[in-house]
């Protein structure tokens, strides 16, 4: 691997992005590869930075571009759009995805590429270890991982910080699930994964935009990738509940008919009626779920590689070598 494209989504956090570039420049000095940075401006209200002729003091990063989106689409979809745009270029061997706020430490890049050797196909994910977060955030994140395991049968122990080879990127951008959640899409793609333990870093500046609502939406987006698996599990549970309810109702009727002295007046009828309602509710819920799942299979799914383009407003090369992107005509290039 000689050329590395780094993709990082940014939303009004250009101060942190500037600090990230400085840290990356220091790390790039000791790495045997070229690093090109693609910042995905996720509909920021703040103006994007302007790099002067001295490249902001950066000496080892070969180039920086800002790909601006027309609207705010959220962290995960901004990453998906960045991957799709990069997949149209031909000047990288692998893509590194990381946050711009410092929580994905640049010095961990060396650990991610350490054991690759001459491998051409790889997907290396940063397995989260120590987290610098509040107690409440840690609790809800643990709750999310536990529920994800319970609902899908899969353990998820990594986030967006990952290194993906060019060939695997080409596969990922063809997966509709990428539009919802990158980590879950990677799991769903069944790519062979290499796990590297990485401690989460501290933010460079400002406060995290991940609040309780964002965490819930992020968690549900990841779980939704396994909608069919969850449906099968719920259907199995529905069948078990229905079977148990039928057995109980049958037992109550037997007691009521053959052993009337053991049945309290009105008790048998009330319990049987309640269980019958449960049976009907479970059956209607299962039937509705089946119809919705089957209907979704005939609907056109979002295909990131084909559907990302309308979201891009412009693509600006701040400095560095000229590459031949598909979107070069969207905005004047910095070298023009």
Name the one residue in this structure whose structure tokens are 């299979």.
297
Residues 25 and 133 in one domain: yes
What digits encode the pLDDT tens for the residues 262-301?
666 666 677 777 777 877 777 777 777 777 766 666 667 7
The pLDDT value given to residue 332? 45
Residues 96 and 211 in one domain: yes
Residues 219 and 240 in one domain: no
Q: Which of 13-17, 202-206, 289-293, 325-329 has the lowest mean pLDDT?
A: 325-329
Residues 234 and 209 in one domain: no
The whole domain housing 190 covers 3-225+303-320
Of 212, 211, 217, 151, nearest in space to 187 by CA: 151
Higher pLDDT, 41 or 334: 41
Above pLDDT 90, what percent of the chain?
Answer: 36
Q: Give, as one character, the DSSP assignment of residue 263.
A: S
Q: H/E element holding 308? A: none
Question: What would the mean pLDDT of 128-138 be, rounded to a whole number?
Answer: 67
Residues 154 and 67 in one domain: yes
Count of domains forming the chain:
2
Residues 10 and 67 in one domain: yes
Per the DSSP assignment, residues forming a β-bridge with 194 are: 124
From CA 86, how far away is CA 33, in angstroms rounded? 18
Question: What would the mean pLDDT of 178-197 be, rounded to a whole number?
Answer: 91
Q: Are strands 34-41 and 123-128 parallel, antiparallel or unpaired?
A: unpaired
The pLDDT value given to residue 145? 79
pTM of the full structure: 0.79
Count of Cβ atoms closer than 10 Å to residue 266 Cβ: 8
pLDDT-derived band of residue 331, with 50, 70 and 90 as boundaries?
Answer: very low
Answer yes or no: is 334 within a domain.
Answer: no
Answer yes or no: is 335 within a domain.
Answer: no
CB distance 176 to 303 below 8 Å: yes
Angle of helix 227-258 relative to helix 135-152, nearest 10 degrees, comes to 70
CATH number at residue 211: 3.90.550.10
Of 27, 35, 44, nearest in space to 206 by CA: 44
């Amino acid at each position: 691997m000689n050329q590395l494209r780094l993709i990082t989504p940014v939303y009004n956090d250009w101060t942190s992005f500037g600090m990230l570039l400085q840290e990356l420049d220091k790390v790039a000095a000791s790495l045997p590869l070229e690093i090109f940075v693609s910042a995905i401006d996720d509909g920021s209200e703040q103006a994007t930075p302007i790099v002067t002729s001295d490249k902001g003091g950066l000496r080892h990063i070969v180039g920086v571009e800002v790909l601006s989106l027309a609207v705010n689409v959220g962290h995960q979809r901004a990453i998906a759009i960045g991957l799709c745009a990069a997949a149209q270029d031909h000047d990288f061997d692998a893509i590194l995805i990381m946050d711009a706020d410092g929580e994905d430490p640049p010095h961990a890049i060396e650990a991610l590429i350490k054991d690759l050797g001459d491998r051409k196909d790889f997907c290396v994910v940063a397995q989260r270890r120590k987290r610098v977060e509040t107690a409440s955030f840690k609790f809800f994140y643990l709750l999310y991982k536990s529920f994800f395991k319970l609902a899908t049968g899969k353990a998820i122990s990594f986030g967006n910080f990952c290194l993906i080879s060019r060939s695997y990127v080409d596969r990922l951008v063809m997966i509709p699930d990428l539009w919802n959640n990158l980590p879950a899409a990677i799991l769903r793609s069944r790519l062979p994964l290499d796990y590297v333990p990485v401690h989460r870093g501290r933010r460079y500046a400002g406060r995290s935009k991940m609040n309780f609502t964002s965490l819930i939406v992020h968690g549900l987006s990841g779980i939704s990738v396994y909608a069919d698996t969850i449906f099968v599990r719920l259907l199995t549970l529905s069948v078990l509940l229905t079977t148990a309810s039928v057995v109980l109702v049958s037992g109550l009727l037997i007691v009521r008919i053959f052993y009337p002295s053991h049945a309290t007046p009105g008790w048998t009828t009330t319990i049987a009626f309640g269980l019958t309602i449960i049976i009907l509710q479970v059956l209607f819920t299962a039937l509705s779920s089946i119809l919705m799942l089957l209907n979704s299979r005939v609907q056109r799914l979002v295909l990131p590689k084909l559907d990302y383009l309308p979201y891009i407003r412009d693509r600006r090369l701040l400095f560095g070598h000229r590459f031949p992107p598909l979107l070069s005509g969207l905005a004047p290039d910095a070298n023009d």
